Structures are given as structure tokens and as C-alpha cells.
Amino acid sequence: MHGATDNSQDEEIKMANTTFKGTLRSEGGYSSIATAASTGVETTQMSISSAGFISLDANTMAVEAGTGITTGSGTIYRSSVQRSGGIITTRILIDLTGLRSTGSGDIIGVNGTSLVCHIGQITAARNGTILTGSMECFEAPAGGDPDLNVHSATEGTGVEDGAIGDLTETLLVNAGDATLGSKVYFTAVPAADSFLYLTTGDATDADYTAGKLFIELMGYEA
């Protein structure tokens, strides 16, 4: 039709369940999204860019670290959960900078906060049944105490400077002093629905200025 404008590239087409036979092709990449029923806000779950880069945005722990960890100045926290065949791998990357150690057996977190300081929750639905775990040090801790332990607890309410023994807890690994390249293996594993905490094995009341840790848990779908 003379004078008609083709706006097809600007239109959003919504389809219900659709089955394609043959190869699904897209020049601009591909995204899978979730839409919040209450707000209509869209969140990308996974995407494939036009260059072929795959991003699995939603593959994180179901409950990530509490704000007593993530609000630290200079602190970095990221998690990843991936399934490959029957193996489920959970990874936590954390830079301790901006967090604080206090007494032996106390929880690490932002100094003086009443915000929860766990570093994520393990659930069977997301992480599977945990079979083994490890923690590796990619930068030696400085400032705060280098003697680090990992605990699990049924409660997600632990705060900085709080005694891990006040929670219903299990020691997963007594790592001793973390040094560059050191790697320790868990002697116990977290149960389903438990929360993970970093604690100190010695008393040093100071903020961390360095310290990069990589925690990896291997699980399976029971």
C-alpha cells in the first residue's frame, strides 16, 4: 500500500508455548525472560548474544549472601549454580575487603552491622544433595584474621561478631591460615536448607584489606 510504514521490527510479539521444527535462528541473539506478576518487571534468565556468548543470569544460589556481607566497602560476592548431566556445581567467589574479623569463632561481616552475614543458602531444589566441597585462596587475607573456617547453620540470622556457636551449626572445614594458592577440602557438608558462614579461627579485631576466596560445592540430584 502506497505510503504505508512497516513497523514490524518495532513490534513485540507474544506467543504461548510454541514448537519449532528445524533450526531457530536470530540475528540479534536470544533471551529468555521472567516477568513479575505483581509489577510486570522483566528479568533476563539467560541469553545468547549475536556473537555467541552465553550468559546464564539466573544460575545463582536461590538465596545469596545477606546484606551484612554484600554492603561491605570493596566487598565482592558472586555465586553460580550449574547442572551438567547429573552433577550440580555451586561456586561462591568472595573478596573479603571491607568485612571484619573479631574474636575466635565469630562470624565475619560488615563491622557493627545487625544485618545478616551468611554467604548463601543451600537448597536441594537448586544445589542438589551436597557430596563434597572445597575452599581455595587466590589472594592472602590481610588486615583481618587469616585463620578462616566455613560453617553451616540451620538459622540465617547470624550477624557480624556473633558467635557461630550460638546457632545450630556444623563446622564444614577448619582451614587454618589461608595463604595464596592454599586449598582445603570440607570434612563435612551442608544439609539442605542450611546457611553458610565464614568465621575466624583466631582473634583479630580488624577490617580486611585483602583476601579472595573461591568456594566450590559438588552435589547431585537425589
The helix/strand/coil state of 68 is helix
Which residues are paired to 177 by β-bridges?
A: 147
Q: Picking from 29-43, 55-69, 79-93, 111-125, which range would have the lowest pLDDT averaged per residue?
A: 29-43
Query: Alpha carbon of 20 to those of 106, 130, 176, 222: distances in Å?
Result: 55, 37, 55, 33
pLDDT at 3: 55
pLDDT tens per residue across span 130-179 = 999 999 999 999 999 999 999 999 999 999 999 999 999 999 999 999 99
Q: How many angstroms separate the CA atoms of 157 and 136, rounded?
A: 26
- Assign 5 a pLDDT band (cuts: 50, 70, 90): low
Question: pLDDT-based confidence at 87, cuts 50/70/90?
Answer: very high
Buried b or exposed e, range 18-33, using 16+ CB within 10 angstroms: eeeeeeeeeeeeeeee
Please list the residues that pair with 65 across neighbouring strands: none
Asked if pLDDT for residue 212 goes beyond 80, the answer is: yes
Supply 126's cell numbers. 537448586
* Cα–Cα distance, 112 to 155 (Å, whole number): 20
214 vs 9, more confident: 214
* pTM to 2 decimal places: 0.81
Query: In the structure grid, which three cell numbers stand for residue 55, read together?
Result: 550468559
Residue type, 68: G
Left, alpha or beta for 28 (phi > 0: left; psi -120 to 50: alpha)? alpha
Side chain identity, residue 80: S
